[in-house]
């Protein structure tokens, strides 16, 4: 098992206006940006950095001027093969002259991704966009029953979208299942950048706890997938959908198995009377005192089923003040419940 820290890092780097309370709210935000954003292709020789007061704006050669985000300015520096740190130390007039000398005059066009008067990103011909809205829409359709974890210590929700990328941390709070005698719930991370800041990807897992720092503790069965934004990046949606559906199917399979065990435990008697039930519990290593408390808590004899006794043991464990005793009582209750899934339980004569 391992501890996952991706959501922890996102929790502390996201501003309040990048947090969303629900997947529906995040989806609405991403759809709105998609609808307002436009792709266009222009030759690099048409681009010109123009000083405006103390900043640079980008002219596309057709009379339009675009304000650059920090990310699109970084990409312009990359296109011109100049150091962003160096350009930032220059005056706007001098920086404009540097770009005038260094922006390539190649014939291959560059892709401008704009939202109103702002340039969101700038790419060459090898880049293919995958919109955040399409990723979130797929999650809404196929990740049913999953939602954000409890809010982090600073209010972070696990659902984020900013200027450069998006990130979703989703869990199923009702999907607890037993894996090798321990309780786990399913969850996953999904991320994307429609401006080329990061790859698109998914990480699914089963976990035991999430703290207020959004560290995922004791994760197992971790499955990772990433893809770059190249020609066939659209196929990543099908891959992510397949991986999420595999997690959902395993959750349903394990949950159905657990329900089957509970139903069998509810229909299985430990004995015809309290004395028989007491002997059966002692045969499973439960102390006479603890077994008697559980049987007394069950009330009438007709309720001496395997499930009722396990339920009583669990409630008693919660009342114990010593942590070691609580853990031991919980473990005994868990092992006792698993007997319902065994055809023959040594030392315990189960009569339905």
Rounded Cα–Cα distance for residues 113 and 107 (Å):
19
Q: Is it the case that residue 139 has pLDDT exceeding 50?
A: yes
Q: Are 204 and 171 in contact (CB under 8 A)?
A: no
Out of 84-93, 142-151, 320-329, least confident range: 320-329
Distance linking the first and last C-alpha atoms of the chain: 38
Work out the pLDDT band at 15, boundaries 50, 70, 90: very high
HEC per residue, 192-229: ECCCCCCCEEEEEEEECEECCCCCEEEEEEEEEEEECC
Cα–Cα dist 317/327, whole Å: 8
Identify the CA nearest to 262 among candidates 213, 172, 202, 334: 334
Q: Give residue-wise pLDDT tens across range 263-284.
A: 777 777 777 778 877 887 787 7
pLDDT band at 193 (very low <50, low <70, confident <90, very high): very high
The pLDDT confidence band at residue 215, using thresholds 50, 70 and 90, is very high
DSSP state letter for 59: E
Confidence at 5, pLDDT banded by 50, 70, 90: very high
Is 214 in contact with 149 (CB distance < 8 Å)? yes
Mean pLDDT computed over 92-100: 91
Task: With beta carbons less than 8 A apart as the criterion, state whether 67 and 76 touch.
Answer: no
151 DSSP assignment: P
- pLDDT at residue 345 is higher than 50: no
Tens-digit pLDDT profile for residues 49-73 = 998 878 889 998 777 889 999 999 9
Asked if pLDDT for residue 207 goes beyond 80, the answer is yes
User: Is residue 213 over pLDDT 50?
Assistant: yes
**In the prediction, which pLDDT does 136 show?**
96
Contact between residue 30 and residue 190 where contact means Cβ atoms under 8 Å apart: no
pLDDT over threshold 50, residue 346: no
* Average pLDDT rounded to a whole number, residues 124-131: 90
- Of the candidates 162, 230, 222, the one whose C-alpha atom is nearest the C-alpha of residue 199 is 230
Q: What is the average pLDDT across 202-213?
A: 92
Region 113-130: mean pLDDT is 92
Confidence of residue 347 (pLDDT cuts 50, 70, 90): very low
Of 61-65, 101-105, 160-164, minimum mean pLDDT range: 61-65
Cβ neighbours for 88, distance < 8 A, ≥ 6 positions apart: none
pLDDT at position 316: 76
Residue 290 in tokens: 């603890």
Alpha-carbon torsion (212, 213, 216, 218), positive or negative: negative
Name, in order, each residue with C-beta under 8 angstroms of 12's C-beta and a sequence gap of 6 or more: 154, 156
Distance of CA 204 to the CA centre of its chain: 7
Q: Which of 210, 254, 227 is nearest to 11 (CA)?
A: 210
Question: pTM (2 decimals)?
Answer: 0.74
Average pLDDT over residues 297-302: 62
Better-predicted residue by pLDDT, 134 or 283: 134
Least confident segment among 90-99, 248-257, 259-268, 291-300: 259-268
The tokens for 337 are 């419940």
Distance separating alpha carbons of residues 188 and 7, to the nearest angstrom: 10
The predicted structure's pLDDT at residue 272:
73
In the prediction, which pLDDT does 293 show?
82
pLDDT score of 297 = 78
Tell me how far apart the alpha carbons of residues 97 and 322 are, in angstroms, rounded to a whole number.
74
């Amino acid at each position: 098992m391992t501890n996952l820290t991706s959501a922890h890092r996102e929790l502390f780097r996201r501003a309040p206006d990048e947090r969303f309370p629900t997947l529906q709210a995040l989806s609405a935000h991403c759809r709105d940006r998609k609808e307002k954003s436009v792709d266009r292709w222009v030759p690099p020789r048409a681009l010109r950095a123009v000083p405006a007061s103390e900043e640079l704006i980008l002219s596309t050669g057709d009379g339009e001027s675009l304000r650059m985000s920090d990310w699109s300015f970084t990409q312009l520096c990359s296109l011109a093969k100049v150091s962003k740190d160096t350009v930032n130390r220059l005056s706007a007039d001098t920086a404009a002259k540097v770009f005038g000398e260094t922006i390539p005059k190649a014939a291959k066009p560059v892709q401008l991704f704009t939202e109103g008067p702002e340039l969101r990103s700038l790419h060459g011909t090898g880049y293919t966009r995958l919109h955040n809205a399409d990723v979130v829409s797929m999650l809404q359709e196929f990740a049913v029953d999953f939602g954000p974890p409890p809010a982090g210590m600073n209010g972070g929700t696990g659902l984020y979208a900013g200027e450069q990328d998006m990130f979703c941390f989703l869990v199923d709070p009702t999907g607890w299942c037993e894996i090798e005698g321990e309780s786990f719930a399913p969850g996953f991370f999904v991320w994307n950048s429609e401006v080329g800041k990061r790859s698109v990807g998914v990480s699914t897992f089963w976990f035991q706890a999430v703290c207020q720092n959004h560290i995922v503790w004791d994760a197992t069965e971790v499955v990772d997938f990433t893809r770059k934004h190249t020609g066939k990046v659209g196929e990543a949606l099908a891959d992510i959908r397949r991986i999420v559906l595999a997690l959902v199917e395993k959750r349903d399979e394990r949950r159905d198995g657990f329900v089957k065990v509970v139903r069998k435990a509810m229909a299985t008697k430990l004995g015809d009377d309290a004395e028989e039930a007491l002997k059966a519990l002692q045969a499973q290593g439960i102390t006479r005192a603890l077994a008697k408390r559980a049987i007394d808590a069950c009330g009438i004899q007709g309720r001496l089923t395997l499930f009722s006794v396990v339920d009583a043991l669990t409630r008693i464990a919660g009342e114990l003040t010593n942590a070691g005793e609580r853990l031991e009582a919980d473990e005994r209750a868990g092992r006792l419940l698993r007997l319902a899934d065994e055809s023959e339980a040594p030392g315990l004569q189960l009569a339905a």
